[in-house]
Amino acid sequence: MTEITHRHVESQSGLRMHVAEAGEGPLVLLLHGFPECWYSWRHQLTALADAGYHAVAPDQRGYARTGGPLETGEYSILHLVGDVVGLIEALGGGRAVVVGHDWGAPVAWHTALMRPDKVRGVVGMSVPHRPRSSRPPVEAMRRMFGDGFYMVRFQEPGAPEAEFDGDRAAVFRRLMHGASGDGGGAAWIAPEGGGLLDTVPEPEKLPAWLSEDDIATYVAEYADSGFTGPINWYRNLDRNWELTTAWHRAQVSPPALFLAGDRDVVATGAPHAIETMTDFVPNLRETVWLSGCGHWVQQERPAEVNDALIGFLRAL
């Protein structure tokens, strides 16, 4: 049975990153989203290794065993892309296929956008590539969804992590179930005077793809880092808009693949972005929709995701 091993790697960005890895061969980086860590790729690490690849899933900046700096401004998209490029260099240089889910998808897309010389191919899951908008995003989201929308609420100092760090097991149970194909979806708009978790009920039982042991693993992985670092990613949304002026409406040139669940409100809520993605990702090879699947695609449908990834990798 293929073994997943763990170590810390000194990324050339200056961040000491925890990575889980398996296999030997061409490098495939697996970038998790919120609120996850390396563990969300547990099914892909071994499958990719068995297919002849060096699969590496880091805990990204601010997350789990990597942790991160205290300054909010050190979580910009330039820092996140820098970590990925620095990790590619630390793992032998050359080029990698960069795969990202949820928040990891924009990091993967931007790595391919900013450093195509380091990227053999790019895979986005759940979050399509979106060109830079014409105005800062936070105020636009506030006007569209209100002050209770989670990305707007995450701008507040201290309050979001106080809610999320209060009962981490409940956070993972509620969010994983609520945003999955088995849940009823999550509005992610806090009621007046309430919290974000009020929008996601405690599940009566966990879906088949998620166990109490999985929840306990996530809780243990967050034991030292908590939620401040992950939420700091959201606090840089407007700053990211300012920092990416030079790439306004630029194209992602490496070969690309997009995967999403047809019950994922993140993906289904952005039909125009997906329909027009080839305008800005001209080498998009395929868009794969997973029927009955929600947001946590690589955990909900590991076999189908593994087949799509390996097929894409072998075609490069």
Q: Which residues are catalytic?
A: 102, 295
Show the tokens assigned to 151.
């990305």
- What is the per-residue burial (b if ≥16 Cβ within 10 Å, else e) of 20-59? bbbbeebbbbbbbbbbbbbbbbbbbbbbbbebebbbbbbb
Based on DSSP, count helices (H) and strands (E) in the chain, helices before strands.
Answer: 14, 8
Among 93, 90, 83, 72, residue whose Cα is nearest residue 114: 83
Q: In sequence order, which residues have a C-beta less than 8 Å from that of residue 186 and are 6 or more positions away?
A: 175, 178, 179, 199, 200, 265
Q: Which long-range contacts (CB under 8 A, 24 or more apart) does 194-197 make?
A: 195/163, 196/150, 196/153, 196/160, 196/163, 197/163, 197/164, 197/170, 197/171
Q: Give the DSSP letter string of 210-270.
A: --HHHHHHHHHHTTTT-SHHHHHHHTTHHHHHHHTGGGTT----S-EEEEEETT-HHHHT-
**DSSP structural state of residue 115:** -
Alpha helices, H only, the chain: 42-50, 77-90, 104-114, 137-145, 150-153, 159-166, 168-178, 212-221, 228-234, 237-243, 265-268, 271-275, 297-300, 302-315
